[in-house]
Structure 1
């Protein structure tokens, strides 16, 4: 049975894989095996559909991250979980998706930026402050700078660039760079613990 949630889920899959401009409402209806008229009984128009897709994706993304790190006492595993989960999400997203949002649906694009700069940053900040309190992270670490250093590396996976080289960036390569960045802000105590668990963190799923 088709409902709004199913429409949003399938639309999200198509947008992330092909970009928004490349996917019409007819395409969504066809993949779902329904008529466009039936689809419009659940969704007002394409703009409303895109809004629901963005909001649902952000909600699910944040909920998944919180559910993973709330079970962790290990500050390094929490920081790595945030980085790796974000990398995986960005890595599977067609660059056209972000480009289309920014150009044609800027209000929805701004929601992603605001989510990154507020909710995601706050989660990262809480983890880093916990690490500082536990003596794992250097006390005078610039938390916002550390966060945006990670976000910049993550964004490379989704950037459209003419710069090409052998062995282009992958989720695992960028994750290793971020893990090494975390190593760079550890105290002596934190460094020792991180080194003991480095291989486990490097192959975190």
Structure 2
């Protein structure tokens, strides 16, 4: 029962954080949302920072598993990317972009773990995807993988760093992510890969 309660707290707190960001949500808010006392929450977490840390570590671990799943089930390297894009966009629809700003400013230990996750799990996934695409003949064999891996990571960082600009111009984060991903793929595909990518776009595997 103790583990179930802890998981319930994490799940409901995650929803609040995604909607409002880390800073705006208090432990009182979480207790009120769950219909439990703060004392019950503190039986599982020492403070809000501990809750944020545990929650994000679980998210990093799940996403690492997802990256491996996309690689396993993708028909090819392009399809692998699109599986990941579709999945993350489902999350981004409900995400307050301030989450990452708040994490960096108010939860530095968690931010460092996020940066480690980005430089390790995400970077490895991107690198392996490009190697796969080259072997399949759908990515150009003259691309500089380390540089493009850093570029792809920078794309993601840019989206969250510039969220105010996107909101002001009426662009949703999923829309920006889709456009950046599509632009990136067209930049590295071969003629064969372009045909594959356009086929997926026509089949609406890249959602609007």
TM-score normalised by structure 1 residue count: 0.85
Which portions of structure 1, spanning 4 or more consecutive aligned residues, are displaced by more than 6 angstroms?
A: none
Instruction: Give the 5 Å matches for 1:56-205.
Output: 56-160=58-162, 163=165, 166-200=169-203, 202-204=205-207
**RMSD, aligned CA:** 2.5
Instruction: Decide whether aligned partners of structure 1 residues 96 and 172 sit closer, same or farther in structure 2, where only a CA change above 3 A counts.
Output: closer
What's the CA shift for 1:114? 1.4
1:143-162 CA-to-partner distances (Å, cap 9, x unmatched) read 23323433333344433566
Q: How many residue pairs are counted as aligned between the two chains?
A: 205
Q: Bigger CA drift: 110-119 or 82-91?
A: 82-91
1:120-155 CA-to-partner distances (Å, cap 9, x unmatched) read 111111111011112211112122332343333334
Q: Is the 8 A contact 1:136 1:189 kept in 2?
A: yes
Selected match of 1:40 from 31, 39, 42: 42
Q: Bigger CA drift: 152-161 or 107-116?
A: 152-161
Q: Please, which runs of 5 or more residues in structure 1 have no aligned partner?
A: none
Q: Is the 8 A contact 2:159 2:176 kept in 1?
A: no
Q: Bigger CA drift: 19-28 or 174-183?
A: 174-183
Q: Is the 8 A contact 1:68 1:81 kept in 2?
A: yes
Take 1:131 and 1:109, find their aligned partners in 2: how far apart are those partners?
Answer: 31
Instruction: Decide whether aligned partners of structure 1 residues 187 and 68 sit closer, same or farther in structure 2, where only a CA change above 3 A counts.
Output: closer
Q: Is the 8 A contact 1:82 1:124 kept in 2?
A: no
Take 1:32 and 1:5, find their aligned partners in 2: how far apart are those partners?
Answer: 12
What SS does the aligned partner of 1:94 have? Answer: coil
TM-score normalised by structure 2 residue count: 0.84
User: Comparing both structures, which one devotes a greater share of its residues to helix?
Assistant: 2
Q: Bigger CA drift: 102-111 or 59-68?
A: 59-68
What's the CA shift for 1:110? 1.3
